[in-house]
Chain A
Amino acid sequence: MSHIEAPDPKPRHRPSRGPRTEMPARPAEERARDFDEVNLGYSEEQAIAEAERCLQCKNATCIEGCPVNIDIKSFIGHIINREYAEGVAVLKERNALPAVCGRVCPQEEQCEASCVLGKKGEPVAIGRLERWLGDFDLACDLEGRCKPEVGEDTGFKVAVVGSGPAGLACAGELRRFGHAVTVFESLHALGGVLTYGIPEFRLPKSIVQAEIEMLAIMGVEFVKDIVVGATYTVDELMTEQGYDAVFVGNGAGLPVFLGIPGENLNGVYSANEFLTRVNLMKGYEFPKADTPVWRGRKVAVIGGGNVAMDAARTAKRLGAEEVFLVYRRSEEEMPARREEVHHAREEGIEFKMLCSPSEVVGKDGWATGLVTTRMELGEPDDSGRRAPVCVMDSEFTIDCDTVIVAVGTRANPLLPKTTPDLELTSRGYIVANDHGATSKPGVFAGGDIVTGSATVILAMGAGKRSAQAIDRWLAGTSR
């Protein structure tokens, strides 16, 4: 008797050998004048063409590269088979905000870095495909959108502090377990850094709102204008308000300044303030929107991360004639995503690398220049990057009327100050284990308030793991 093989239900996938499909973007000269999105996303044909490059490896290493372990092989397989709704469901299984992550994740360091194709050529554009599926979902009417299943009511109530990436991921996951969830947001708009920090041209606010709307449909309750640590304390949430557990995902809120002379002159902003005025308060629509933002003619942005790129490109869009990006190391060491660096350069941002600012000079209370010293790269430092060293007598002044400081953030003290039994690091961050458990029973934490400034997806991963730990913790408590 001969062995009969079961027929493959789908025609065998033959990967295409085509080049990586470029994602269309608006021309630099056009986009640098408005706040509309820069990248246009794939068409259906482009998405399929890119998906078909995927080898559908038996051992899909890309999945390991994703901080929330999305089943990448499977969602790309669904695109190949034109099963888009199924593809969305695979994404949503692991990620409550695919249209957001498809736009802002540093895929080149994560999933795409683990793609087998990348070893010899270019990896599959996993991020662009995620974005395309996320957008496919958002383009459906509400009925047609993917709604992750909500678990049966457990009778437990969980409070989530902060509606940024960590809080949203945690809230979505908790609903899947069937717990009642209330998210408390201190600002008047939801989304945390996705709303006040990342600019419209990189992440349209309508997309953030649409993803949040789905969480509301899943039964997550959102309460704005509540500062936990001021309006309510964590203890009050757990006693007076009857929450069985609390997840703290309030972000690393406080901007860091350099501590150089002249930093309090008018025209000097933290990137947080500058971006908040523009993104959250819609300062670019002033005076139609009531919040003004100082529109500099010559702007110097200090820093080399994504926030510095966002600030520089935002300044350009507000009409600055010249925008300088001042960074004390070289472009090689810049922590910003390559795509952002590329876009910034295309838009005419002038890079001043190996320049270390030492003073903001001014006249009549207003900034007029940034004094900087040239640097050269020396031996590697603790971070493994070559440390910048001053070049003697190389001081020069960059003419500018605006300086934006984008060198990071630190922990906001409001919540810890009113939660005495919460253990903190020496720098004020909350101490939490891999599952988000803090020193205070029933209180979990994740995202930037634990790790310091990191990425959207890492915060989401922490929120999700905390939700799973909260679920286990609740199961162990008796009501």
Chain B
Amino acid sequence: MFPVVYKRQLSESVFEMGVEAPAIAHKAKAGQFLMLRVDENGERIPLTFSDWSAEEGWIRFIFMRVGKTTHKLSHLEVGDSLADVVGPLGVPTHVEDLGRVAVVGGGVGAAVAYPVARAMAAAGNEVTVILGARNEELLILEDEFKALSLKELIVCTDDGSAGRKDLVTAPLKELCAAGALDHAMAIGPVIMMKFCSATTKEYSVPTTVSLNPIMVDGTGMCGACRVSIDGETKFGCVDGPDFDGHAVDFEELMSRQRVYVDDERLADAEYSRECRCHT
């Protein structure tokens, strides 16, 4: 069992959770993920690390309450336990001094962008972070990003309730057009990563995206997470999750993410009804 040692609500539906897992914390690197199972009947879901401490033996991740598993997760408190946590999985984000780097974090993707931006800054890059969300309420980790040594932090919301009223692609395009970028990293909803990649491609700015396909085991065994990279099938879990954004078949990925939409809705509805029965 893996005890919950930290919990923070970042918005109405977004939570950060910390779990005691010394062996994993010892190894975790930016861009890697864990697989967790909440309880005995639980499904295995992948979540990318948002933070970790090898010294104190904990790892953290951020999730949005969208389905049954994340609902159950959101009900756990400090002192409760997760049935299973496995990791660190996936290839770590390639961190080196590339020069001028933009890190785009959209929605909950900001959670993954945070350690990536931190590592890229520490490696000597001049890092601009573009943080995007639908509205101010859903904007997360702004203070944490501010505390990093960045060149600039640009906040965008769809409705203008915080920062610029823009999509993240607008400031990204400006940076590209100004010739002020050597590399871009985009982490967030697939549709956002798709448009970020399309934006940078126009200016031939190499771009890394962090994909989040459906997984079962997370160790290469099932192939549920297969993605097409330049026409070649790769596994998100062992070959990724980072890939060249200009080579990803985003349409296929979006389609594959919808396989279980109906099932997920059903499971969540049944779970909500059960919850109401018990309260």
Residues of A within 8 A of B89 (CB): 227, 230
Does A224 touch B at the CB level, under 8 Å?
yes
Asked whether A225 is an interface residue with its Cβ less than 8 Å from the other chain, the reply is yes
Q: A255-B223, A266-B259 are in contact. Are A273 and B216 (CB under 8 A)?
A: yes
User: Which chain A residues in 253-268 approach chain B with CB under 8 Å?
Assistant: 253-255, 257, 259, 263-264, 266-267
Which residues of chain B from 200 to 245 have any CB-CB distance to chain A below 8 Å in the complex? 216-217, 219-224, 226-228, 233, 235, 238
Chain A residues near B235 (CB, 8 Å)?
Answer: 254
Establish whether residues A272 and B222, one from each chain, have CB atoms under 8 Å apart when the complex forms. Answer: yes
A276 and B221 contacting across the interface, CB-CB below 8 Å = yes
State which size class the interface on A falls in.
35 or more
Q: Please indicate the chain A residues that have their CB under 8 angstroms from the CB of B227 in the complex.
A: 264
Q: Which of A57-65, A83-91, A281-289 contacts B (4 or more CB under 8 A)?
A: A281-289
The segment from B5-13, B39-47, B160-168, B179-187 that touches chain A is B39-47
Residue from the list B43, B221, B267 in contact with A253, Cβ < 8 A: B221
A residues in contact with B87, CB < 8 Å: 227, 230-231
When distances are taken between beta carbons in the complex, the residues of chain A under 8 Å from B24 are 231
Residues 163-201 of B, flagged 1 when their CB comes within 8 A of A and 0 if not, give 000000000000000000000000000000000000000
B216 touches A255 (CB 8 A): no
- How far is B264's CA from A224's CA once the two chains are assembled, in angstroms? 27
Q: How far is the CB of A430 from chain B (nearest CB, A)?
A: 16
Are the CB atoms of B43 and A266 closer together than 8 Å?
no
In the complex, whether A371 has a CB less than 8 A from a CB of chain B is: no
For A276, the chain B residues whose CB sits under 8 A away are: 216-217, 221-222
Q: Which of B132-172 contact A (CB under 8 A)?
A: none
From A175-183, A290-298, A317-325, A375-383, the one touching the partner chain is: A290-298
A43 to B240 CA separation, bound complex (whole angstroms): 53
Is A277 in the interface zone, CB < 8 Å from B? Answer: yes
A288 touching B238 by the CB < 8 A rule?
no
Residue ID in chain A nearest B235 by CB atoms: A254
Is A187 an interface position by the 8 A CB rule? Answer: yes
Task: Decide: B41 and A289 in contact? CB cutoff 8 A.
Answer: yes
Task: Judge whether A281 and B216 touch: CB under 8 Å.
Answer: yes
| With known contacts A286-B267, A287-B270, A292-B267, A266–B258 Cβ distance under 8 A | yes
Chain A residue nearest to B257 (CB atoms) is A266
A267→B266 CA distance, assembly (Å): 19
A372 at the interface (CB under 8 A from B): no
A413 near B: Cβ within 8 Å?
yes
Q: Does B69 contact A (CB under 8 A)?
A: yes
Contact in complex: B43, A413 (CB < 8 Å): no
Q: A396 at the A/B interface (Cβ < 8 Å)? A: no
Residue of A nearest to B89 (CB): A230
Q: Is the CB of B267 within 8 A of A412?
A: no
Which chain B residue lies CB-closest to A263? B233
B263/A286 in contact, CB under 8 A = yes
Give, as a whole number of angstroms, the nearest-CB distance from B39 to chain A: 9
* With A231-B87, A276-B216: A270-B43 Cβ-Cβ less than 8 Å: no
Check A287/B266 contact, CB under 8 A, given A186-B219, A277-B216, A412-B221: yes
Most chain A beta carbons < 10 A, residue from B84, B216, B259: B216
Set of chain B residues within 8 Å of A479, measured between Cβ atoms: none
| A449 CB, min distance to chain B CBs, angstroms | 13
A365 in contact (CB, < 8 A): yes
The answer for the CA separation of A478 and B228 in the assembled complex, in Å, is: 52
Contacts of B270 in A (CB 8 A): 287
Whether A412 contacts B23 by the Cβ 8 Å rule is no
Q: Is the CB of B263 within 8 A of A292?
A: yes
Point out the residues of chain A lying under 8 angstroms from B41, CB to CB: 282, 285, 288-290
The answer for the CA separation of A270 and B227 in the assembled complex, in Å, is 14
Cross-chain contact B226 with A264 (CB below 8 angstroms): yes
CA of A431 to CA of B76, assembled, Å? 46
Q: How far is the CA of A186 from the CA of B83 in the complex (A)?
A: 14
Q: Hey, which bits of chain B sit against chain A, CB under 8 A? A: 23-24, 27, 37, 41-44, 68-69, 83-89, 216-217, 219-224, 226-228, 233, 235, 238, 252, 255-256, 258-260, 263-264, 266-267, 270-271
Interface residues of A (CB under 8 A from B): 186-188, 196, 224-227, 230-232, 253-255, 257, 259, 263-264, 266-267, 269-270, 272-273, 276-277, 281-282, 285-292, 294, 365, 412-414
Listed from nearest, the 9 A-B pairs whose CB atoms lie closest are A292-B263, A365-B255, A273-B222, A290-B43, A291-B43, A270-B223, A287-B267, A188-B84, A255-B223
The 17 listed contacts between A and B (C-beta, < 8 Å) are A226-B23, A227-B219, A231-B27, A231-B87, A253-B220, A254-B221, A257-B226, A257-B233, A273-B224, A276-B216, A276-B221, A282-B41, A286-B263, A287-B267, A290-B42, A291-B216, A413-B238
Additional A-B contact list (14), CB under 8 Å, known A264-B252, A281-B43, A287-B267: A225-B86, A227-B87, A227-B89, A231-B86, A253-B220, A253-B221, A255-B223, A263-B233, A264-B226, A264-B233, A273-B216, A276-B216, A292-B260, A412-B220
